[in-house]
């Protein structure tokens, strides 16, 4: 096992496959690597669904960095879910071979697994990088068998933990520059025109969806919040993703005309969020996107711990009932403690942020 670190890192691979919030929480660590090694070729191995967080559509996935791909030099895309369904079919085998030929052609010196799963650790090893960094304590303990360097992840927030792993590589303990997300000018213009047509220029985003039921504050209450925000001069967009149509339309109906429900691509959502005055939602990817873009955020938390997953270094107020137990059990029923958070509490937090944008989370 090779465990020596290259003296000068010229080619470095980040492995963080999914999901939306987790990829966003990895961006500060990637930015820290870019700050430390400004001239290095940095690649990122990611699931296809989340590629737009790193590279805008129409932008080449490798080559000189640009506003459409500002952080990394090469985006390597895998389709693990689709590949498993047709693993022994020739088109799938050709896709897999093409991806791994591309990864190995770079001759990465170091791979950093910031997912801590068995599959991500295996993929890091398959890159043939001689040095593979990972956390000593991972989500799936067998993953550590594939690392040549194990580091203790320090910090409470997951962003701090990711930073501590790459800081072991860079030796720099300072906080990185603000993260950069892809910018597509055509999409920016399209979103501007779409909002203008709908009369949605002074904008709040509300997001009733979340990964599972226990993390979802009732959709009807989001509609009531939108009605109150309209009195503050803000029109609301109800953002929703795949499978969240019912939640979005419940919120829209409850708003009594104060909110409009829209579905957006990731690139569109990035452009939209940049224009928002306020974001309100639970522990889910769009919340973490808003935080990364420094949009004032009201975060409504239930079973997950905001100290680990909440908005980080952005104007925000976190609402969580002390009675909510910390649990990642994917229950479909709403968290009872979360249901104790009132519409009035959310509206009050929103108003405080709108008048005091420097407010910190608490």
Question: What is the set of domains in the chain, with CATH numbers?
Answer: 11-170 (3.40.50.2000), 185-355 (3.40.50.2000)
| DSSP H stretches of helix in the chain | 20-36, 80-85, 90-105, 118-126, 158-170, 185-198, 219-231, 245-254, 266-275, 285-292, 306-309, 336-339, 343-355
Predicted confidence at residue 34, as pLDDT, reads: 95
What average pLDDT does this structure show over 97-103? 94
Among 253, 255, 243, 249, CA closest to 284: 243
Inter-axis angle of helices 285-292 and 20-36, nearest 10? 30
Q: What is the pTM (predicted TM-score) of this model?
A: 0.94
Confidence at 193, pLDDT banded by 50, 70, 90: very high
What average pLDDT does this structure show over 177-203? 92
Name residue, tokens 């213009």: 189
Name residue, tokens 């000189």: 64
CA distance 12 to 108: 5
CA 120 to chain centre: 17
Confidence at 337, pLDDT banded by 50, 70, 90: very high
**Least confident segment among 2-16, 80-94, 97-111:** 2-16
Answer positive or negative: Cα dihedral of 80, 84, 90, 93. Answer: positive
DSSP state of 53: G
Confidence at 2, pLDDT banded by 50, 70, 90: very low
CA atoms within 13 A of residue 176's CA, in its CB half-sphere: 27
Predicted confidence at residue 86, as pLDDT, reads: 86
Confidence at 358, pLDDT banded by 50, 70, 90: low
Phi, psi for residue 342 in degrees, rounded to 5: -90, 160
Give the total residue count for the chain: 362
Residue 91 tokens, joined: 């088109």
pLDDT at 271 exceeding the cut of 70: yes
Instruction: Return the biggest CA–CA distance within the chain.
Output: 64
Confidence at 220, pLDDT banded by 50, 70, 90: very high
Predicted confidence at residue 172, as pLDDT, reads: 85
Contacts of 226 (CB under 8 A, 6+ apart): 204, 206, 236, 238, 251, 254, 255, 258, 259
Confidence at 1, pLDDT banded by 50, 70, 90: very low
Predicted confidence at residue 4, as pLDDT, reads: 56
Phi, psi for residue 239 in degrees, rounded to 5: -85, 140
Predicted confidence at residue 122, as pLDDT, reads: 95
Residue 47 in contact with residue 84, Cβ under 8 Å? Answer: no
CA distance 327 to 201: 38
CA-only gyration radius of the chain, Å: 21
Among 261, 271, 275, CA closest to 206: 261
pLDDT tens-place string over residues 277-329: 999 999 999 999 999 999 999 999 999 999 999 999 999 999 999 999 999 89
């Amino acid at each position: 096992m090779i465990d020596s670190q290259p003296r000068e890192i010229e080619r470095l691979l980040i492995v963080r496959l999914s999901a939306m919030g987790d990829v966003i929480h990895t961006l500060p660590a990637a930015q820290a690597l870019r700050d430390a090694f400004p001239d290095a070729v940095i690649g990122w191995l990611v699931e296809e669904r989340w590629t737009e967080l790193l590279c805008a559509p129409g932008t080449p996935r490798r080559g000189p960095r640009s506003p459409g791909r500002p952080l990394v030099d090469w985006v390597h895309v895998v389709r693990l879910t689709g590949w498993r369904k047709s693993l022994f079919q020739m088109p799938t085998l050709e896709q897999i071979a093409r991806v791994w030929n591309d990864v190995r052609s770079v001759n990465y010196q170091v791979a950093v697994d910031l997912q801590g799963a068995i599959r991500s650790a295996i993929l890091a090893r398959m890159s043939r990088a001689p040095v593979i960094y990972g956390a000593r304590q991972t989500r799936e303990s067998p993953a550590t068998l594939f690392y040549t360097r194990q580091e203790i992840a320090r910090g409470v927030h997951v962003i701090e933990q990711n930073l501590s792993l790459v800081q072991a590589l860079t030796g720099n303990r300072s906080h990185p520059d603000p993260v950069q997300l892809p910018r597509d000018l055509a999409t920016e213009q399209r979103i501007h025109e779409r909002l203008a047509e709908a009369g949605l220029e002074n904008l709040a985003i509300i997001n009733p969806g979340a990964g599972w039921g226990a993390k979802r504050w009732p959709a009807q209450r989001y509609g009531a919040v939108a009605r109150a925000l309209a009195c503050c001069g803000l029109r609301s967009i109800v953002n929703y993703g795949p499978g969240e149509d019912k939640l979005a339309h419940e919120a829209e109906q409850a708003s009594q005309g104060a909110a409009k429900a829209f579905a957006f691509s990731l690139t569109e959502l990035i452009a939209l969020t940049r224009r928002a005055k306020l974001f309100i939602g639970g522990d889910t990817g769009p919340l973490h996107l808003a935080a990364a873009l420094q949009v004032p955020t009201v975060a409504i938390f239930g079973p997950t711990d905001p100290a680990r997953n909440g908005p980080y270094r952005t104007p925000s107020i976190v609402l969580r009932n002390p009675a909510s137990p910390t649990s990642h059990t994917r229950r479909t029923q709403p968290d009872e403690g979360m249901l104790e958070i009132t519409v009035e509490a959310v509206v009050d937090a929103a108003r405080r942020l709108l008048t005091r944008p420097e407010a910190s989370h608490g």
